[in-house]
Structure 1
Amino acid sequence: MAIVLGPHRYGKAETRLVRVTRDGETHTLTDLNVSIALSGDLAATHLTGDNSGVLPTDTMKNTVYAFAKKHGVGEPEEFALLLARHFLKTQGQVRAARVAIEAYGWDRLGPHSFRRQGGWTRVAEVVAMAERAQVVSGVTGLTLLNSTASEFHGFVRDRYTTLPETTDRILATAVDARWRHLGTEADWAASFDGALHALTNAFVNTYSLSLQQTLFAMGSYALHERPEIAEIRLALPNKHHYLVDLSVFDLTNDNEVFIAGDRPYGLIEGTVTRDDAPPALTEWYL
């Protein structure tokens, strides 16, 4: 029996970068978490300890900071493309460079004062190879809730099923979405804002018979509204809200008082894609 080295990569994870752009007395703040991974002709360091093809991860970190100064940051997709293409161009042993970015938003309070946004985080990931590059954008932690216009009934029952059917329930989720772009050129800010609006709008305006149905409606509307997107992947945890039994207090609970469940929770995942979309350059995950 032979033992061989399987797929492998290495890099610098979670380099924190805050970039202040000073335009006179008015400043702009960019706050990123940058992770880099390289793969290619790198087996020797695993098999023999030969590091002649290994670019130190500390160098990757330094490159992030140097590029933030030299080139600015701009949109996260733009910065990720710049970094990925740099490592691919300058390191002949590298066949693929992956750069993933989390971007944290700040609200302006004054010319140089800001308040950190909460609720959701913008993400972007670029994979660059010799033949082409792939750009994925997304959002995580986007919490949405409809207090009605949601039903769940007609499901399979067996001896362990206790869930009652309902024609009026709270539907809540924390959206984790990634969407793959058709190309590497776009107005990234407008594209992200448009996709976020489409996802939110579809959730608000879909009368839901299941969270699965809502997932497909959200993905479909995003593709309809954003022609630059090839496909979108969604992971929607079902944030359960349980009606409180108030009968012991001689009170009627007409869908007004709930317990917000923490765990366990249902998790609905799915991909919505254009049937003519080109295949992905490499597998991509939520």
Structure 2
Amino acid sequence: MSIKLGPNRYGKAETHVVGVTKNGGVHEIRDLNVSVALAGAMDEVHLTGDNGAVLTTDTQKNTVFAFAKEHGITSPEAFGLLLARHFVDSQPTIHHARVSIEEFAWERIVLDASDKQHSFVRSAQETRTARVHYDGEKAWVVAGLQGLVVLNSTGSEFHGYLKDKYTTLQEAYDRVLATEVNAEWRFIGEPSDWDKTYREAKSALLEAFAETYSYSLQQTLYAMGERVLTTCPEIGEVRLSLPNKHHFVVDLSAFGLTNDNEVFYAADRPYGLIEGTVLRDDAPAAGPAWE
């Protein structure tokens, strides 16, 4: 029997860095959770315990903080590219870097008749994400968002599906459609403004959800991915995961009340999970981007 070491990586996970940019009394916040994973000439550390090829995870953590000061944080994608290229290009034993980032949004608290612009409230919407791979020659960037909850109170149907002896679900011709949007999009070109592209992609998702008369969540998923690709030419592929947040009409007849799609029971589980990919025919191969 032959035994050998397979693919491996190591790194510092979840370094939480908050950068404050001060322009006089006007402050801006970038709040990132950064995870680094490195791979390369790491056979000896696994097989013999020789650490000569290892850039310590503590050094990786320190680099995140130092780069936040030296380079600033303009966007999670740009910050991830800086870190990934640094780790590979500065260390001969590191051949591949993956930097995964979550960004937590803060909204400014605006006070009437005040010039103070340094107070913020944590946004309760989505978490922005970015993942960067770099192998010394090429970089791959995947960005996205998680936890963006949306709901249409009408404009959705669901009927005509397969039925067997276990089917009890009634066909719906006017229903609530709600989901939590978890989306990632793979870049095939580097935009001039990462933040602008993020805003455009998010807006495209929301607009498609709101404007699509839906006969299934799958149809809505495709419309959302298609809208992102139409809006953002630098994006080649969109992956969506949409849990169906079921809203069931409550039967109020026992109380002598009618319920014309006005009162619902919002069930948290189990739930349908709709997943899919929408991509350009001519998009180049993904490489390690989705890993």
Counterparts of 1:237 and 1:181, CA distance in 2: 25
Displacement of 1:170: 0.4
Counterparts of 1:283 and 1:159, CA distance in 2: 43
| 1:6 aligned onto 2:6 | yes
1:193 to 190, 199, 202: 199
Q: Who is 1:121 aligned against?
A: 127
| 1:259 aligned onto 2:265 | yes
Counterparts of 1:256 and 1:185, CA distance in 2: 44
1:103-118 to 2 correspondence within 5 Å? 103-109=103-109, 110-118=116-124
Question: Is the 8 Å Cα contact of residues 133 and 281 (structure 1) preserved in structure 2?
Answer: no
* Structure 1, 189-198 or 123-132: larger mean CA deviation: 123-132
SS at match of 1:12: coil
Displacement of 1:184: 3.2
Q: RMSD between aligned alpha carbons?
A: 1.1
SS at match of 1:17: strand
Deviation above 4 Å: which 4+ runs of structure 1?
none
Q: Who is 2:211 aligned against?
A: 205
Q: Which stretches in structure 2 are left out of the alignment for 5+ residues? A: 110-115
Question: Is the 8 Å Cα contact of residues 237 and 278 (structure 2) preserved in structure 1?
Answer: yes
1:131 to 125, 130, 137: 137
String of CA shifts for 1:18-53, please: whole Å, max 9, x gaps: 111122222211111001001121122222212111
Displacement of 1:130: 2.1
Q: Return the letter of the residue paired with 2:69.
A: K
Between structures 1 and 2, the one with greater strand share: 1
Q: Who is 2:252 aligned against?
A: 246
1:219-238 to 2 correspondence within 5 Å? 219-238=225-244
Counterparts of 1:131 and 1:14, CA distance in 2: 26
| 1:88 aligned onto 2:81 | no
Counterparts of 2:95 and 2:140, CA distance in 1: 14
Question: Is the 8 Å Cα contact of residues 133 and 184 (structure 1) preserved in structure 2?
Answer: no
Displacement of 1:2: 2.0
Question: Is the 8 Å Cα contact of residues 186 and 289 (structure 2) preserved in structure 1?
Answer: no
Displacement of 1:283: 4.6
Equivalent residues, number: 285
* Structure 1, 245-254 or 231-240: larger mean CA deviation: 245-254
Question: Is the 8 Å Cα contact of residues 150 and 167 (structure 1) preserved in structure 2?
Answer: yes
Q: Who is 2:33 aligned against?
A: 33
State TM-score, norm by structure 1: 0.97
Counterparts of 1:104 and 1:283, CA distance in 2: 22
Question: Is the 8 Å Cα contact of residues 237 and 277 (structure 2) preserved in structure 1?
Answer: yes
Counterparts of 1:43 and 1:235, CA distance in 2: 36
Question: Is the 8 Å Cα contact of residues 21 and 28 (structure 1) preserved in structure 2?
Answer: yes
1:141-220 to 2 correspondence within 5 Å? 141-220=147-226
Q: Who is 1:22 aligned against?
A: 22
Q: Who is 1:282 aligned against?
A: 288
Counterparts of 1:164 and 1:37, CA distance in 2: 48
Question: Is the 8 Å Cα contact of residues 127 and 133 (structure 1) preserved in structure 2?
Answer: yes
Counterparts of 1:37 and 1:111, CA distance in 2: 37
Question: Is the 8 Å Cα contact of residues 11 and 35 (structure 1) preserved in structure 2?
Answer: yes
Q: Who is 1:101 aligned against?
A: 101
Displacement of 1:185: 4.2
Counterparts of 1:183 and 1:201, CA distance in 2: 24
Q: Return the letter of the residue paired with 2:205.
A: L
Identity %: 59
